[in-house]
Amino acid sequence: MADPVKLTIDGREVHAAPGTLVIDAAKQNGIEVPAFCYYEGLTLQAACRMCLVEIEKTPKLQTACTVPVAEGMVVRTETAQVAQARKYMLEYLLTNHPLDCPVCDKGGECELQDMTFRYGVGESRFTEEKVHTPEKQFSPVVFFDAPRCILCYRCVRICDEGMGVKALGVINRGVVSEIAPNKGDHLECDECGACIDICPVGALTSGAYRYKTRPWEMTHVGTICTHCADGCKTTLGTRNDQIIRGNNRDRSGINGEFLCIKGRYGFDFYDHPERLQAPLVRKNGKLEEVSWSEALTTIASKFNEALQAGGSFGVIGSNHTTNEENFYLQKFARDVLKTNNIDHHRTGDVVTLLDALSGKQDKLATVADLYERKAVLIVGADLATEHPLLSFQIRANYRHHQAHVYVVTAEGVREDHYSAVSVRGRDYTSLRDKLKAEPELVILFDDSVKGEDVRKLVEFGESLGIPVKYIALVDYSNSRGAVDMGVTPELVPGYQPAQPGMHVHEMIDADLGVLWVVGANPLKKGGSRKAGFLVVQDMFLTETAQQADVVLPAASAYEKNGTVTNVTGEVQRLKRGINTMGAKPDLEIMGFIAREMGVAATLGPWVPETVFEQIRKTVRGYQVPLPVVATGGAAQTMPLNGRIPVENRPDLISSDHNGLFDSGTLGRYSKVLHSVLEGRLERQ
């Protein structure tokens, strides 16, 4: 690595790597240079001239966002001349601005407003009539108010470079230049909202958030998106037990600022009018609202009766509920109900991957690896729609580090636009020579590769003679955690073998005495319950809940504490953002059932932190550093490094292949996701 460059900024001697831009060198040393068009990670635009600084021995002010550091350079960022220049630039940027801060969504967190205060632009010498154009709605999510736009092109660049969508551009010239969508008067894009979040002013605003609140009226809670398995951190803006918005502007998670539409806007299912807020018990054939105590007593006495009579139990868990809930549920099933009939909907072959990798170290890739490693091989998945964060990471890796991307998919995918090689079909072996020449590789595969095919893929990877890491793609926010926590009939937590019980499909078809479904909808595609007594914990009256004897209203991921494990095995903390009246976290519900049955002591406290401590002590791979998780970081689990003695059952694995605008049963209840889909259908 080349020697650092020595320079002086505002009288301080600092060092920076050669090639560093002056604006970044200043920032690295705690000196903020104002900027509108410059944005870390995006190409340079040099459009706004807010970042002007004095550099000794150069005749004019220079843009700090375009000049790289040089040995001996002397930079001054806050002189009278600089302040005057910035003041003029602001006056110019405000020429046509409507100055409607009191009603603008961005008020209070607007970069233009902040700079105007800072540089004291109190009056304007422009007396011409302002150009007014009415606000436009580009899509259900994206609104555009042209007069507020300062033409910094951040939105255009994030959509092109960050998202790989290129849905925004600029039309016209001069004072009538305007940001425009890709389809004439509307957008057809990922609806990710990245352009809205990155806009330094209130020109792009969100259909979900606009005019609802002011930023300082909200409480900001960092938690994890509950939709796909990628595990994006999202900061919920909440007020009066309502979620008003989601973003991750502090870049604190594994996703940096990235969120797809589901993470940024798809939280809105939580206040859908059909949300359950009271327990239901079937009476005379109909589900009727009852008190919590009546519902819990009904369940506890039925469970105890069945236990005493030696009846059969089946338990179906979820790939959305927390690790703590999954751990407690399997313990409940095994230690209290004395059954290994416990399972969940499996969406990727994690088990065979771990088994195939036994005896090898450091073989599981993280989300960060997709940004850092030199080459990536994607087998089967359309990442841009099914795993938006992973797709974003690979795109950023390609842009910033020129990573080589290899694609083996049945259909064309977004990664084709920058792949080194794209192969249609499933045969990756033709890439052998090219992959062997790479210094390192990450292989991602979806459920089109399962059972023996996973072993063949690992054999292939290991035969390349280069360091290879793997990711078995799964669908939901805790799909991975459900397997790790032993919500399977043949494995207890930590992939230790158990005397196998029934699988999901077998439980549905069996004449079980009791079937207990926690956060799943196994009858979604039709069919009737066979079990004598059916208990369902859910947020909505799903197809399965409609057939239940007792339905208990469950809290969503945004209404509880705990942890989830993402697709790459990274554990992160869920933090309660709001409360919804009547609903309880599944862990609490299970604890109450245990207490009502008189078995609470067998299971221990139903407090998330205590259960997580138990998980850390007993589940191999989960001895993760507590401070990392407790402070909102991601800690990669290291599952066991040995053979997993289970029979391969690829038939039990099927991904839902959710796209950008759906998300299993949950997606049905999101107004935002619906409005996007309906808009597209109407236009077809």
Q: Which residues bind ligand SF4 (CB under 6 A)?
A: 142, 149-155, 158-159, 163, 165, 167-168, 179, 187, 189-195, 199-201, 203-204, 225, 227-228, 230-232, 259-260, 262-263, 388-389
Structural element, H or E, at residue 520: none
Q: How far is the CB of 200 from ligand SF4 (least distance, A)?
A: 6
The DSSP code for 438 is S
- Counting Cα atoms < 13 Å in the Cβ hemisphere of 531 gives 32
Q: How many other C-beta atoms lie within 10 A of the C-beta of residue 122?
A: 9
Q: How far is the CB of 34 from ligand FES (least distance, A)?
A: 8
The DSSP result for 210-251, as a single string, is TTS--GGGSEEEEEE-SSBTT--EEEEEEETTEEEEEE-TT-
Residue from 25, 26, 53, 65 touching ligand FES (CB under 6 A): that is 65
Check if the beta carbon of residue 315 is closer than 8 Å to that of residue 329: yes
Residue from 9, 22, 26, 38 touching ligand FES (CB under 6 A): that is 38
Q: Does 49 bind ligand FES (CB under 6 A)?
A: yes
Question: Is residue 132 exposed (0-12), middle (13-18) or buried (19+ Cβ within 10 Å)?
Answer: exposed
Check if the beta carbon of residue 650 is closer than 8 Å to that of residue 456: no
Q: Does 62 bind ligand FES (CB under 6 A)?
A: no
Residue from 21, 35, 199, 356 touching ligand FES (CB under 6 A): that is 35
Instruction: Give just the sign of the alpha carbon dihedral 420, 425, 426, 428.
Output: negative
Q: Residue 228 binds what, of ligand FES, ligand SF4, none (CB under 5 to 8 Å, by partner type)?
A: ligand SF4
Closer residue to ligand FES (CB): 53 or 611: 53
Q: How far is the CB of 161 from ligand FES (least distance, A)?
A: 16
Question: Is residue 134 exposed (0-12), middle (13-18) or buried (19+ Cβ within 10 Å)?
Answer: exposed
Q: Residue 50 binds what, of ligand FES, ligand SF4, none (CB under 5 to 8 Å, by partner type)?
A: ligand FES
Question: Tokens 């460059």 sit at which residue?
Answer: 5
Q: How far is the CB of 54 from ligand FES (least distance, A)?
A: 14
Check if the beta carbon of residue 193 is closer than 8 Å to that of residue 138: no
Residue from 16, 22, 42, 51 touching ligand FES (CB under 6 A): that is 51
Residue from 9, 16, 25, 36 touching ligand FES (CB under 6 A): that is 36
What is the C-alpha to C-alpha distance for residues 519 and 587, in angstroms, rounded to an integer? 11
List the interface residues with ligand FES, window 292-321 (CB under 6 A). Answer: none
Length of the chain in terms of residues written: 684
Question: Tokens 């793609």 sit at which residue?
Answer: 473
Instruction: Give just the sign of the alpha carbon dihedral 105, 110, 112, 113.
Output: positive
Q: Residue 383 binds what, of ligand SF4, ligand FES, none (CB under 5 to 8 Å, by partner type)?
A: none
Closer residue to ligand SF4 (CB): 345 or 404: 345
What is the C-alpha to C-alpha distance for residues 424 and 598, in angstroms, rounded to an integer? 58
Q: Does 153 bind ligand FES (CB under 6 A)?
A: no
Q: Residue 163 binds what, of ligand FES, ligand SF4, none (CB under 5 to 8 Å, by partner type)?
A: ligand SF4
Cβ partners under 8 Å of residue 450, min gap 6: 348, 349, 352, 650, 653
Closer residue to ligand FES (CB): 31 or 37: 37
Question: Is residue 318 exposed (0-12), middle (13-18) or buried (19+ Cβ within 10 Å)?
Answer: buried
Closer residue to ligand SF4 (CB): 67 or 228: 228
Q: How far is the CB of 155 from ligand FES (least distance, A)?
A: 14
Q: How far is the CB of 204 from ligand SF4 (least distance, A)?
A: 5
The DSSP code for 364 is B
Closer residue to ligand FES (CB): 47 or 290: 47
What is the C-alpha to C-alpha distance for residues 153 and 137, in angstroms, rounded to an integer? 19
Residue from 50, 364, 405, 635 touching ligand FES (CB under 6 A): that is 50
Beta strand 242-247 pairing with 550-553 = unpaired
What is the C-alpha to C-alpha distance for residues 519 and 496, in angstroms, rounded to an integer? 24
Q: How far is the CB of 89 from ligand FES (least distance, A)?
A: 9
Question: Tokens 């205060």 sit at which residue?
Answer: 117
Q: How far is the CB of 37 from ligand FES (least distance, A)?
A: 3
The first and second tokens of residue 20, run together, are 């560093």
Closer residue to ligand SF4 (CB): 227 or 573: 227
Closer residue to ligand SF4 (CB): 189 or 491: 189
Closer residue to ligand FES (CB): 61 or 357: 61
- In the stretch 472-501, what mask flags binding to ligand FES with x, by CB under 6 A? ------------------------------
What is the C-alpha to C-alpha distance for residues 330 and 336, in angstroms, rounded to an integer? 10
Three-class DSSP category at 556: coil
Q: How far is the CB of 51 from ligand FES (least distance, A)?
A: 3
CA dihedral 344, 346, 349, 350 (to 10 degrees): -50
Closer residue to ligand SF4 (CB): 196 or 468: 196
Closer residue to ligand SF4 (CB): 70 or 176: 176
Q: Which residue is nearest to ligand SF4 (CB)?
A: 263
What is the C-alpha to C-alpha distance for residues 379 and 426, in angstroms, rounded to an integer? 7
Q: How far is the CB of 451 from ligand SF4 (least distance, A)?
A: 26
What is the C-alpha to C-alpha distance for residues 335 and 602, in angstroms, rounded to an integer? 8
Q: Does 63 bind ligand FES (CB under 6 A)?
A: yes
Q: How far is the CB of 43 from ligand FES (least distance, A)?
A: 12
Q: Residue 232 binds what, of ligand FES, ligand SF4, none (CB under 5 to 8 Å, by partner type)?
A: ligand SF4
Q: Residue 165 binds what, of ligand SF4, ligand FES, none (CB under 5 to 8 Å, by partner type)?
A: ligand SF4
Candidates 551, 517, 665; CA nearest to 276 is 551
Closer residue to ligand SF4 (CB): 585 or 667: 667
Q: How many other C-beta atoms lie within 10 A of the C-beta of residue 275?
A: 18
Closer residue to ligand FES (CB): 68 or 604: 68
Q: Residue 35 binds what, of ligand FES, ligand SF4, none (CB under 5 to 8 Å, by partner type)?
A: ligand FES
Q: Does 74 bind ligand FES (CB under 6 A)?
A: no
Closer residue to ligand FES (CB): 49 or 345: 49
* Continuous H helices in 424-520: 432-436, 452-462, 479-484, 504-509
The DSSP result for 153-174, as a single string, is -HHHHIIIIITS---EEEES-G
Closer residue to ligand SF4 (CB): 387 or 529: 387
Candidates 324, 231, 333, 226; CA nearest to 622 is 324
Q: Residue 151 binds what, of ligand SF4, ligand FES, none (CB under 5 to 8 Å, by partner type)?
A: ligand SF4
Q: Does 47 bind ligand FES (CB under 6 A)?
A: yes
The first and second tokens of residue 27, run together, are 């920032």
Q: Residue 38 binds what, of ligand SF4, ligand FES, none (CB under 5 to 8 Å, by partner type)?
A: ligand FES
| Site residues for ligand FES per CB under 6 A | 35-38, 46-51, 63, 65
